[in-house]
Amino acid sequence: METKQHQYPSKGYTPAGSISPMAGEAFPEAGEKSLLLKVRELTKSFEGNVVLDRVDFDLRPGEVHVLFGENGAGKTTFTKILCGGFLPDSGKIIIEDEPVSIANPAHSRDLGIVAVHQDFSLVPQMSVIENLYLGRDSKNWIFLDKKAMLREAKAYFKNLNIGLDIDLHQKIRNLSMEKQQVVAIARALLQPLKVLILDEPTSSFTERETEVLFDHIRTLKAKGIGIIYISHVVEELKAIGDRVSILRDGKVVGHIDNNAEITQENLLKGMVKHRERKKVNHVLNANLGTTSLEVHRLSTESGLKDISLHVRRGEIVGVGGLPDSGKTLLGRALFGLENILSGEIKIHGENITRGISPSTALQNHIIYFPAEKLEGLVLCRDVKENKTLPSLKDKFSVHGLLQKSKEKEAVGAIIGKLSVRPNDMNRRVRFLSGGNQQKVIIGRGLLKEAKIFIFDEITRGVDIASKIDFYRIVTEMAKDSEGVIFVTSELSELLDLCHRVVIMYDKRIVATLEHEEATREKLVHFILGLEVKH
């Protein structure tokens, strides 16, 4: 396989270090007095791991400044610091020439910084109207002025004109992802703004809905509001971006200083140029068996198109792609959570497609771990109960009586194997970290004696120590299993952890690479939908 060769222009993409001889000074000093936001040498570490390394960033009034880079580059940590979610270890944040120390999210909002995160940050049990005004309720003396809130929200959604009919009294959990995204954006735009942060804001949108959002962004720009925009979709960046800063491994490694130079070639160069990678020392199982799972030309109601792949015993097959590429839909379809229109799913040659559901998938020893780590957890119950809940009837009960000693023995062994911290099966799950909550869910699969494991973004949002634990867990599980499908947005995980890498784009598989032939540059080409010659 040969990657199409690109000739990069001498202008356009500029390595960060070439802009100024001053270390860490990403932008020229000229015109800084007119800046809306100035960040200098922002640094943040977690458990000794440097996530942001002396990051410089500027935002002018009325511009869209794009943050570009792979997952794990530091984009989310950077924006969470601006939103008061994390405190930096060092560095300066200056808003309209005033140095600030952002103490918490409420302080950030008071400063006029508002964000729409990838997870939307909505409360699923509350209605649309309640989410819109959460934390900033309109009040009539001591009572909520619900009528005024409703009038304002109705007028706003009418003006927003996004093309979706949204019931303001509907619970968030009952809305489609597309409508939840609209609500999250509407909530942000209803607030007093100086700086708006948009993290993959169109991931659930159609082309028309995206263009409506862009029209609103242009209106905000005209009012002098600065926008930090995060996306991997090159066409979007070209349509709406004024400048680009490229992050890699927590550092700003390059800039594109005007819209005319926002090209696939320049963005790609910033992501992969001069990168020296050292592979993490994961020893992949070399003793792969025969094919256990086969998928032939699978298409679903949700948009998957002609998907074909296979998994061998002991193998880890990585699945990568952009947020809307279809990689999450693939895991859901194999677990019976998507309506299948055509194609076949086979386990050891037996067709299980007809009538597939989560219960029949479990009967065929397939288990799925969703990207939303809290899905399926009972937060008010302890670790032991959460691990054994799906297995009580068939594994720990005799004639309807629970065998508590057998249950405790099994859970104790799983806790030790997964390194759940603290090692306390009686601790309520709500008091565990996100990584340890994820381990509780994995423990369920081990107790159910599943043989084919589907992991979707298992390491998203967890600390470095937990990531290392998960890599060990997945590698060990793969050796004794019928195979693992590992869905991830992180290129390093695809390159280091997987025997084979499948890349999805536009809900299709566009590339399948063996471990030995997978490189960062090839993966980026396929993930961004760039042309590659075979």
Backbone angles phi, psi at 94, to 5 degrees: -125, 125
Domain parsing of the chain, residue ranges: 34-112+192-273, 123-182, 277-365+451-534, 375-449
Mean of pLDDT over the chain: 79
Q: Which residue has the tokens 């699978």?
A: 298
> What is the model's pLDDT at position 6?
32
Q: Which residues of 428-465 are buried (b: 16+ CB within 10 A; e: fewer)?
A: ebeebeebbbbbbbbbbbbbbebbbbbbbbbbbebbeb
Domains 34-112+192-273 and 277-365+451-534 share a fold: yes
3-class DSSP state of 119:
coil
CB 475 within 8 A of CB 260: no
Write the CB contacts of 42 (distance below 8 Å, at least 6 apart in sequence). 52, 54, 55, 56, 57, 78, 81, 88, 90, 91, 92, 93
438 pLDDT more than 50: yes
Q: What CATH number does the domain located at 34-112+192-273 have?
A: 3.40.50.300
> What is the model's pLDDT at position 274?
43
119 pLDDT more than 80: no
> What is the model's pLDDT at position 244?
93
Strand locations in 389-467 (E): 397-398, 401-402, 452-456
How far apart, in Å, are the Cα atoms of 135 and each of 40, 187, 191, 227, 336? Answer: 30, 11, 11, 23, 38
Residues 354-371 have pLDDT tens digits of 989 988 998 899 989 887
> What is the model's pLDDT at position 184?
86
Q: What CATH number does the domain located at 277-365+451-534 have?
A: 3.40.50.300
280 pLDDT more than 60: no
Q: Which residue has the tokens 């109705």?
A: 154
Residues 29-84 have pLDDT tens digits of 435 558 899 999 999 987 677 889 999 999 999 999 999 887 667 888 899 899 99
Nearest 5 degrees, angle CA 316-CA 322-CA 328? Answer: 55
> What is the model's pLDDT at position 20?
30
> What is the model's pLDDT at position 279?
44
CA distance 499 to 518: 10
CA distance 66 to 55: 14
Q: Distance from CA of residue 452 to its chain's centroid?
A: 23
Per the DSSP assignment, residues forming a β-bridge with 38 are 58, 94
Residues 482-503 have pLDDT tens digits of 999 999 988 888 999 999 999 9
> What is the model's pLDDT at position 285?
79
> What is the model's pLDDT at position 10?
36
> What is the model's pLDDT at position 36?
93
CA distance 497 to 315: 10
Letter for the amino acid at 261?
E
353 compared with 208, residue with greater pLDDT: 353
If pLDDT is split at 50, 70 and 90, which confidence band does 413 have? low
Q: Which residue has the tokens 């910084």?
A: 113
pTM of the model: 0.61
> What is the model's pLDDT at position 147?
80
- H/E stretch holding 218 reads helix 207-222
Averaged pLDDT, 203-215: 81
Write the CB contacts of 511 (distance below 8 Å, at least 6 apart in sequence). 501, 502, 503, 522, 526, 532
Residues 121-136 have pLDDT tens digits of 788 888 888 888 876 6
CA distance 373 to 352: 27
Letter for the amino acid at 161?
N
